[in-house]
Amino acid sequence: MQSGRPTSAVRLDDLERLNQSLEAMLAERASNLLDALVNALHVRGSEAPAHSRRVGRYARRLAHELGIRGRELDDIERGATLHDIGNIGVSDAVLRKKGPLDEAEWVEMRRHPTLGYEILAGIGFLARARMIPLHHQERHDGSGYPQHLRGNEICIGARAFAVVDTYDAITSDRPYRKCRTYEVARAEIVKCAGTQFDPDVVQAWLRIPQAEWDAIRETVDVPG
């Protein structure tokens, strides 16, 4: 007689190991593609990789505070990380212009959310994430672009992104100014609740201690 577990159990174990191996391989490939897209933005002169990754992590944390779980958190982090991917399709003359844009240049710049949505089409694991690049310039009061969406018409990932992007912009160094404090960022976010930002998302952001935002920044900004 044969000893040990039944053949069916062994086969199930083998299938489970194979499934785990495939999932790990796909996750690595997805991560590599995400890194390549972020680096493409950096080379294009649009965004520093650290900013893209910070807002991705920030958006994930805020989405979790809003009660979102599972793979939707991955979608939100990826979409927030790639929010400006559409800038790849904007001309150098507009993207790198040092002075203010004229009306024709603004028309081109305002195409970048739609361009981002189109660039990510056909990449299966980004099918839901690409809604964030499409919606990331919309505003809660409907004054954003490209579709002038209001409130819950804007996907939740983009609503979370809007808050954390402002937080990161204020608390990071810029070529024209030094970073400002958490308190300055907090005051601006609270002031814009109901106009630029979803008030419920702002309240969720306020529940998260500053120490958590600092810890995420430290993790992302580790040299190398």
Average pLDDT over residues 136-143: 98
What pLDDT score was predicted for residue 23? 58
Domain that holds residue 118: 48-220
What pLDDT score was predicted for residue 24? 59
Distance of alpha carbon 190 from alpha carbon 52, whole angstroms = 23
Average pLDDT over residues 213-222: 90
**Angle, to 10 degrees, between the axis of helix 199-207 and the axis of helix 156-170?**
60
Assess contact for 61 and 20: CB atoms under 8 A.
Answer: no
Confidence tier at 35 by pLDDT (50, 70, 90): confident
140, part of any domain: yes
DSSP-based helix, strand, coil % in the chain, nearest 5: 65, 0, 35
176, part of any domain: yes
Confidence tier at 9 by pLDDT (50, 70, 90): low
Number of domains in the chain: 1
Whether the CA torsion 123, 126, 130, 136 is positive or negative: it is: negative
Distance of alpha carbon 185 from alpha carbon 129, whole angstroms = 26
39, part of any domain: no
The mean pLDDT value of the chain amounts to 88
Coil, helix or strand for 24? helix
pLDDT at 12 over 70: no
As given in the structure block, the two tokens for residue 169 are 């912009």
Does 146 sit behind a cis peptide bond, omega within 30 degrees of 0 on the bond before it? yes
Poorest-confidence range of 20-29, 34-43, 164-173, 194-203?
20-29
Average pLDDT over residues 126-144: 97
pLDDT at 7 over 60: no
What pLDDT score was predicted for residue 28? 66
7, part of any domain: no
84, part of any domain: yes
95, part of any domain: yes
Return the CATH number at 169: 1.10.3210.10
Residue with more model confidence, 5 or 161 = 161
138: number of CA atoms within 13 Å, CB side? 26
What pLDDT score was predicted for residue 174? 76
Average pLDDT over residues 145-170: 98
208, part of any domain: yes
28, part of any domain: no
Q: Which H or E run contains 59?
A: helix 49-65
Confidence tier at 34 by pLDDT (50, 70, 90): confident
pLDDT at 1 over 50: no
